[in-house]
Amino acid sequence: MAKKNELCSCFKITKKDVKDHIKAGITSYKELQKQTDIGTKCSSCKKKTKKKFKKYRNKLGAN
């Protein structure tokens, strides 16, 4: 079962993981995929995680 904070259960990526990557300077979902493989297995989380990524980036990201 997916944990509450897990965004991508295939790779066990949590909200915090995504936020930490943004804080570390990631600016695009593609970059996030390169580093974490998020959304690249079953891809069922892709739509959701893309949205979340954008939301967090607007909040936490540079510029």
Which residues in this chain contact ligand FES in the complex, by CB under 6 A? Answer: 8-10, 39-45
Residue closer to ligand FES by CB (options 6, 61) is: 6
Shortest distance (Å) from residue 52 CB to ligand FES: 12
Residue closer to ligand FES by CB (options 39, 57) is: 39
Assign 24 to helix, strand or coil.
coil
Looking at 1-63, which runs of residues are DSSP E strands?
A: 6-8, 13-14
Cβ-count burial 51-63 (b if 16+ within 10 Å, e if not): ebbeebbeeebee
Residue closer to ligand FES by CB (options 22, 45) is: 45
